[in-house]
Structure 1
Amino acid sequence: MAEEAELLVSKLTAALDDPRVTQIEFVPELPPLPPQQPSNDNSNDSVNCDYDSAGIITAYHPFLIGDGSLGIPFQAMPAALKFATRRLQNLTAGKNNFYGAAILPSDATQVCDLTLCILVFNADHHSAWNWRKRMIEDGCISLDSELRILSVFSTYKRHCRASLLWHHRCWIVEKIISNLCCEVDSKLLLVNHEQLRNLWEMESKNCRQSCERYPRNYHCWVYRWWCFSRYSSNLM
């Protein structure tokens, strides 16, 4: 049973890492594995992405990818979430998110995958977000990849309303902006206006898409205001 749950977590995180995934949807039933046809892609991906006759990516079954959308069956949720939560607790026992003992290099990848799996099902899991911050600080997760995952999460109506998701996104964007600045006479000065403009346009687009799914999204509107204020202050 544990082996099956571990395999679910592995397939789910691999599917979320697939750059073709731009949104997530939960489906009511576990889909049968469709007849497959070999992919014409000759790339050396770690996962051999087979397709069915309708062009649905089946390599991550029971999670399917079609038209950029990752379908997650509700039946996979209990086992995967329970396994990921318990394994994360075991790996991080006695360790503080930021100031505790270091996570072993062999465990860091597991922590990244387990927190990702937990947040797919529960975007209000405070400890999972904090451990991802720790992994980012340790260089195990890049800022760009985390921003992409947050954009994928925000396409789901329930997740886009989670305050912790927007707080985490704010933290990520703040770090990206800091990387675009340099210190001159004890002051931080912006050195790459074009990247800041591209970042602002990307964040504006993400906020617009999230609000289209849930117009009364208070946390998204507040985040959008923060982005505008932050962008304006760096131009002055």
Structure 2
Amino acid sequence: MSLYDKLLHALTHYPIDELGILPCAPNLSEIPSDAQQYYPLLVVGCKLGFSFDQWMVLLKETQELFNDYRLHHFEVLDMTDTLEQLTRVMVLLKPDNYTAMNIRKQMVVRGQVSIPEELKLIELMFTIAKHTKSSIAWYHRQWLFTFNNKQHMNDMDMEREIQLCQRCITLHPRNYYAWNYRQWLVALMIERDNGILQQEYHSTCQWMEKNISDHTGIRHLEFILDKWMVSLSTSSSIQSSPQGSTLLSDHHHQRQIIQSHVAWLTALLLRYPGHESLWCHQRFCATLWFQYRDNDKQWTDWANQQHRFIQQILDNENEQHQSLDLSNYQQQLGFSSKYGLWLCFMK
């Protein structure tokens, strides 16, 4: 039995819910007797593991079988169970395979593969940390919910999808594609419940406190803040007076939120000096304040307050007793100086 056949048999006869790449092949004597038939693969309960060397062999065997199949079954309509099995193994081993993924799309459209089965396949794929950064896999998952006139979006378990994103960004930080998919989810959830923005804001802030240098997470936080500000403007931009006329409200609520957020960000800047991601986010917050000011004086007061904060850093008044790490202090001075210069241009 070839390595491909062993892998396919294990996937077919066991409810595998997690894949793993092992540092080396296990010893046959250490494998449970009922799983020795799959050696050198390791099957324990619902878990399946293979070494990196075996992974390369599997990729080669599967690609050769796929090429041979296409050579003898070149008709586009000839999509058998064998092709489904080949493409399933191919995307599990290497998600960034356009050909295999497009074939599976055709199978979904024709009803040969069900959407719930395909969603489970992607979740299994994402149990390997490296695969969580596959743009093809994330787009395929999004496509599964949208290809049929949004019919399946009504059945989408949003909480499950958010949990999947959370697990993937934990397995592989700085995961742009997982955060991008999460933004798409949030945009859909806003249409159903506008209050989801506050919940997502707080959860993302908690994530950032543990992953200071994750630029992709900060971009998601900025997306949430921007949507939150827009939603407040939409709900309160026009108020009716007793006489029936319309009055434009100010942006007091938005500025309150921005001030609270900047206070949180300032604490992080002092606690974790020298992180460019935080200083870039500081500029975003300043831009938000500029956008939602009611007059130029509010912007001038804000800029002066920021300059005082920068001067405190340059004078080293707060660093000694608030920072957890002073090894990046020179970088902190550089980033704060550049931020101050940027503010001057803004003024």
Secondary structure of the equivalent of 1:71? strand
Structure 2 residue corresponding to 1:13, chosen from 8, 15, 31: 8
For structure 1, the residue ranges without an aligned partner over 5 or more in a row are 38-49, 51-56, 182-189
Distance 1:15 1:230, change over 3 A: farther
Distance, in Å, in 1 between the alignment partners of 2:46 and 2:165 is 19
Deviation at 1:223, TM superposition (A): 0.4
Letter of the 1:11 partner, please give it. Answer: K
- Secondary structure at the aligned position of 2:146 is classed as helix
Match of 1:111, as an amino acid? L
1:24 aligned to 13, 19, 23, which one?
Answer: 19
Instruction: Give per-residue Cα distances to partners, 1:5-63, cap 9 Å, x unaligned.
Output: xx3212213333456422211113222334655xxxxxxxxxxxx3xxxxxx5553332
Higher helix share: 2
Q: Distance in 2 between matches of 1:159 and 1:210?
A: 9
SS of residue matched to 1:225: helix
How many angstroms does 1:101 deviate by? 2.9
- Find 1:60's aligned residue among 29, 38, 44: 38
Larger Cα-atom Rg: 2
Asked if residue 155 in structure 1 is aligned to residue 133 in structure 2, the reply is no
1:120 paired residue number:
92
Query: In the TM superposition, what is the alpha-carbon distance from 1:204 to its structure 2 partner?
Result: 0.8
Distance (whole Å) between structure 1 residues aligned to residue 149 and residue 50 of structure 2: 34
- 2:70 corresponds to 1:92: yes
In structure 1, the partner of 2:181 is 223
d(CA) in 1 for partners of 2:114, 2:9? 16
* 1:82 pairs with 2:60: yes
For residues 171 and 58 of structure 2, the distance between their equivalents in structure 1, rounded to whole angstroms, comes to 26
Residues 146-203 of structure 1 show CA distances to partners (whole Å, capped at 9, x for unaligned) of: 111111111212100111110111111225883447xxxxxxxx5xxxx43xx11111
1:102 to 58, 69, 77: 77
**Structure ranking higher in strand proportion:** 1
- Find the aligned partners of 1:177 and 1:67 in 2 and give their Cα distance: 39
Find the residue that maps to 2:21 and give its secondary structure.
Answer: strand
Q: TM-score, normalised by structure 1?
A: 0.69
SS at match of 1:88: helix
Please tell me the root mean square deviation across aligned C-alpha atoms, in Å.
2.9
Stretches of structure 2 lacking an aligned partner (at least 5 in a row): 195-347
Deviation track 1:201-225 (CA, whole Å, cap 9, x = no partner) reads 1111110100111121000000011
